[in-house]
Structure 1
Amino acid sequence: MASGLVDFQGGTPSDAYDRLVTDLLAEYDAHLRTAAEVQGAVDVRRRGPLWIALFDRGRLFVTYQQLDDPAGRVAEVAALISDDDSIQQVEWKTRTHDRAPGLEAALDCAGFTAGEPESVMLGEASTLIGSEPPTGVTLRRLTVPEEMRAALDMQDAVFGGTPRAQRMLREILTRQSNGENVELWAAETNGRIVSAGRIDPIAGTAFAGIWGGATLTPYRGRGIYRALTAARVRSAMSHGARWIHSDSTEFSRPILERAGLMRITGTVPWTWQRPAR
């Protein structure tokens, strides 16, 4: 990433901010889409601009850098899932800065459901490492599968919806066995996991993603999530990460903004689920 990204000389502060967001967005499109999003997939198919990644248990993830003929590309994916009964679930993320007229309408017509909007955050890793946990809270990387499962179950309880703990555990363990540096961290108090999240360095780049951050409601507002993020980022920096990105809910976005990350665009996960027989 060019050093000019942090050059605020010339123009007004607003101009400098807009230039920085534009530069960060260009880096996001170049480095954090397509191949970076399909790490851990068991198979990746290319259809024109589409990257269609197959994960375990019949899950597809669809991504791209630029999209031509949005309605036509959605129809391609719809035909694929119609022809293949093994596909049980599909996720397609839209980005607010993409030029893709008619995409949301096409997804809706194809039976996809829009999830909650999220903010794409990006910035210097070094801005996130200064926080320490409050008294009585311990931070550590989880390496034992039983502890990892407990943390992932806690995340399921926070997020609600379809349980993902067993699937995520398999995915993390598989990726780790393949030599990837994905890590799961937790914050504990009195032996109880109260917050957890992943750090996911992007192979071959100076980027890492922070994902899955969840904190039990009674423990929010104490700086635990901020400290857990700092611990994860310090670990990623030890592997060469300089830049951190995250798709953030409205719970975590303000924390990351206060730490120096910038909202560069928005994203909405659209999902399709095969009806139960």
Structure 2
Amino acid sequence: MNNNQLLQLFDKEMREEIEYPEARKEITADVVRFTREAPAMNFVSKTFASDADLDRVIEQELAHFAPMNQPFTWKVYSHDTLPTLTEKLEQHNFVRDEDDGDIMILDVDSAPSHLFDPVKADIRRITNLKGLKDVVSVLDKVYGNNNEWVYKRLGGHLTIPGYLSIYAAYADDQPVSVAWTYFQKGKFASLFAGSTRTEYRKRGLYTSLLSARLKEIRERRYQYAMVEAGEMSRPIVEKHGFQYLATAWDYLWEGGK
């Protein structure tokens, strides 16, 4: 599959056909939109409208979302063929999130063989609400804030058969690194986190967690592992064979300023 075909498949499966259990999806003639219960983020994942219609479409979506008084994001990708979309969003008081994400893809069938070697680190699967305390512990230490959201969001997703797999790496029987995978319908499995406590970095724990997840992805016959990588993580996943597909930007509506 060439790059253009892969982009088309990505748009179809990950921006149009994708489902989120906590969100209502609506596909109109102009956009694909997702609505969640407050205070969660609502967003537009795909824009079908022509460039000439963007003012109308943006105002239409604002009329739909603004009365909900919730965060609202418009997702933009580097391969979108809408030259003025970002300009029009900014004119309507959307501000680009500084954390751009590069969509990195690994074809599991051609992944480096070392990723499927036996894992030497202490990697454990977390399967219930009680085990999520280890995820919260690592995230709190890595980011220095409160991550109680994990219990509701990831805890709820763990109850959906086959949807979410969470792994943690342990040192001295303490959780020190965590990562998880979402399995949507189709060919893509989405990788998240890979967060490691500072004092345990450079020990191969990210690679061990990646290996554990890729083995499951291959066993479940998904073709592609996908990660949205930031500036620091892109070189790491590139080292393991991931290839650049596109860049994603989130444009957050700042309200009627």
TM-score (norm 1): 0.78
Instruction: Give 2:221's match in structure 1, choosing from 240, 243, 261.
Output: 240
Instruction: Give 1:106's match in structure 2, choosing from 88, 112, 115.
Output: 88
Tell me which residue corresponds to 2:212. Answer: 231
Q: Secondary structure of the residue that 1:145 maps to in structure 2? A: coil
Mapped to 2, the partners of 1:170 and 1:98 lie a distance apart of 33
Letter in 1 for 2:252: T
Deviation at 1:52, TM superposition (A): 1.6
Aligned residue runs from structure 1 range 76-225, under 5 A: 76-85=60-69, 88-115=70-97, 116-126=99-109, 127=111, 129-130=115-116, 133=119, 137-155=121-139, 157-159=141-143, 165-203=147-185, 205-225=186-206
Q: Secondary structure of the residue that 1:199 maps to in structure 2? A: strand
Q: Is the 8 A contact 2:119 2:212 kept in 1?
A: no
Letter in 1 for 2:218: M
What is the percent sequence identity of the aligned residues? 20
Gaps of 5+ in 1: 6-19
Query: What's the RMSD between the two structures over aligned residues?
Result: 2.6
Q: Is the 8 A contact 1:34 1:51 kept in 2?
A: yes
Deviation >6 Å, runs of 4+: none
Tell me which residue corresponds to 1:24. Answer: 6
Gaps of 5+ in 2: none
Mapped to 2, the partners of 1:108 and 1:160 lie a distance apart of 31
User: How many corresponding residue pairs?
Assistant: 249
The C-alpha deviation readout for 1:33-86, integer Å capped at 9, x for no partner, is 2232x422332223323222122434212111644333333222222232224x
Q: Is the 8 A contact 1:194 1:216 kept in 2?
A: yes
Letter in 2 for 1:130: F
Q: Secondary structure of the residue that 1:31 maps to in structure 2? A: helix
Deviation at 1:122, TM superposition (A): 1.2
Classify 1:84/1:167 alpha carbon distance in 2 versus 1 (closer, same or farther; 3 Å): same
